[in-house]
Amino acid sequence: MNEIERVNLLGLDGAELTALVGRWGGKPFRARQLQRWVHQRGADTFDAMTDLARDFRGQLAQECVVQAPAVVTEQKSADGTRKWLFDVGQGNAIETVFIPEDDRGTLCISSQAGCTVACRFCSTGHQGFNRNLHASEIIGQLWWARKVLEADLASARLPAAGAGGAVQPDSRVISNVVMMGMGEPLLNYDQVLTSLRLMLDDNAYGLSRRRVTVSTSGVVPMMDRLAQDCPVALAVSLHAPNDALRDELVPLNRKYPLAELLAACNRYLAHAPRDFITFEYVMLDGVNDADEHARELIRIAAQVRCKINLIPFNPFPQSGLKRSPSARVRIFAQRLMDAGVITTVRKTRGDDIDAACGQLAGEVRDRTRITERIAAQRQAIPIKQVHA
């Protein structure tokens, strides 16, 4: 059988794997065993799976593969952040970032090669879009990173998350996963859902619902579906506190304006009663960082149970935008906190290896005309600069 026709087991959730094994007459517990070999022990050949029957292994070897996308480069930042570039074929490459902290280890993964949303401040958005990633390519990033990091841990080159810290550590190297890499996860819904199910599955990655975060620019109908199917932690990329400005910064706002987005956030929270929405807000000098914006943001925060995460803008060539000075970020954060809004400022990590938020660019063979559209749109409506 040809390699291309084989099933990549990395892309099958528990139910799909059980169905596949069932077609060969295997019991569900065989599927669970296989799942643990693949995701927890990082096996990519079948001979090592000695507790599975020889015939079953033979069948697997004939019809299946366990294959993550090929690694092109791995980089390590001075602060311990690591970034992998994966080849996903036809000239496209995606990026994955691991961020170690005292009390946790967070893996930031990509969901698409490029992105169609084309936000003004995002380098992925400026690259256009090629295609959705398959679940095997989404989970492949986690599978690979976990394997590499655990091997490092075993050879004692990397401290476990939380080692020596006061906060209760999670002994797993990757304790949290955020879908904040390249792409808009909710525009690749089915493959992302399969991937989320694997992240939560006790026979795969066993992460709790609150340790997996989907970040979205606000695809309202898909937020409703996610609430039903798999209500993990939700981050919403707000970036502007009114429709006029958000239309320019996050073009998807023209389709799903703020009132609809906020209503969807509240519907989501109805499915996750003890949760909150994290609103992400990238701080752009003279664009969205004035006191008036803080006042508008406070009014928004009063409508949804939320926390606000201010993100210092990470510049990249062609953006034409600047990071708000840190004193402005501090004052802006203080205004929100004075009004009782829980606010954090994201620490920039890994910027020496271009691994910081919004710097993930990979390689995208654009199949859309987004890049041209952005240039035309910029000439038509330059973003109004305001004074802080």
Cα→Cα distances 193→12, 229, 375, Å: 11, 8, 33
Which partner in ligand SF4, ligand SAH, none is near 180 (CB below 5 to 8 A by kind)?
ligand SAH
Residue 291's identity, in one-letter code, is D
For position 96 contacting ligand SAH by CB under 6 A, the verdict is no
Contacts of 66 (CB under 8 A, 6+ apart): 8, 9, 10, 38, 43, 44, 45
Q: Which is closer to ligand SAH, CB of 26 or CB of 183?
A: 183
Coil, strand, or helix at residue 265? helix
The conformation of residue 159, written as its DSSP 8-state character, comes to P
Residues in a beta bridge with 112: 132
For the CB of residue 118, give the shortest distance to ligand SAH in the complex, in Å. 11
Among 77, 124, 141, 324, the residue binding ligand SF4 under the rule CB under 6 A is: 124
For position 81 contacting ligand SF4 by CB under 6 A, the verdict is no
Q: Binding mask 294-313 vs ligand SAH (x if CB under 6 A, - otherwise)?
A: -----------------x-x
Q: Is 119 annotated to bind ligand?
A: yes
Q: Is 184 annotated to bind ligand?
A: yes
Q: Which is closer to ligand SAH, CB of 137 or CB of 280?
A: 280
The conformation of residue 38, written as its DSSP 8-state character, comes to I
For position 357 contacting ligand SAH by CB under 6 A, the verdict is yes
Tell which positions 219-258 bind ligand SF4, by CB under 6 A: 237
Residues in a beta bridge with 252: none
Classify strands 7-8 and 112-114 as parallel, antiparallel or unpaired.
unpaired
Residue 224 corresponds to which tokens in the numbers above?
């409703």
In the block, which residue shows the tokens 């990173």?
A: 145
For the CB of residue 252, give the shortest distance to ligand SAH in the complex, in Å. 9
Among 33, 136, 175, 217, the residue binding ligand SF4 under the rule CB under 6 A is: 217
- 271: burial class by Cβ within 10 Å (0-12, 13-18, 19+)? middle
Rounded to an integer, what distance in angstroms lies between the CA atom of residue 115 and that of residue 235?
17
Which partner in ligand SF4, ligand SAH, none is near 173 (CB below 5 to 8 A by kind)?
none
Give the relative orientation of helices 135-154 and 189-200 as an angle to the nearest 10 degrees: 30
For the CB of residue 281, give the shortest distance to ligand SAH in the complex, in Å. 8
- Per 3-state DSSP, the chain is made up of helix, strand and coil in percentages (nearest 5) of 40, 20, 40
Which partner in ligand SAH, ligand SF4, none is near 118 (CB below 5 to 8 A by kind)?
ligand SF4
Among 11, 183, 231, 315, the residue binding ligand SF4 under the rule CB under 6 A is: 183
The residue from 108, 230, 265, 357 that is catalytic is 357
Q: Is 175 annotated to bind ligand?
A: no
Are 227 and 263 a contacting pair, CB within 8 Å?
no
Residues in a beta bridge with 188: none
For position 122 contacting ligand SAH by CB under 6 A, the verdict is yes
Which partner in ligand SAH, ligand SF4, none is near 222 (CB below 5 to 8 A by kind)?
none
Among 92, 237, 278, 343, the residue binding ligand SAH under the rule CB under 6 A is: 237
Helical spans, DSSP H, in the chain: 14-23, 28-35, 54-63, 123-126, 135-154, 189-200, 220-229, 243-249, 258-271, 291-301, 326-338, 370-380
Active site residue 95: yes
Active site residue 357: yes
For position 119 contacting ligand SF4 by CB under 6 A, the verdict is yes
Q: Is 239 annotated to bind ligand?
A: yes
Coil, strand, or helix at residue 307? strand
Q: Is 238 annotated to bind ligand?
A: yes
Residue 294 corresponds to which tokens in the numbers above?
């803080």
How many amino acids of this chain bind ligand SAH (CB under 6 A)? 15
**Kind plus residue range of the DSSP H or E element containing 252:** none
The residue from 64, 95, 108, 306 that is catalytic is 95
Q: Which is closer to ligand SAH, CB of 32 or CB of 354?
A: 354
Residue numbers in the known binding site for [4Fe-4S] cluster are 115, 119, 122
Binding site for ligand SAH (CB under 6 A): 121-122, 180, 184, 215-217, 237, 280, 282, 311, 313-314, 357-358
Residue numbers of the site for ligand SF4 (CB under 6 A)? 115, 117-119, 122, 124-125, 183-184, 217, 237
**Which residues are part of the catalytic machinery?**
95, 357
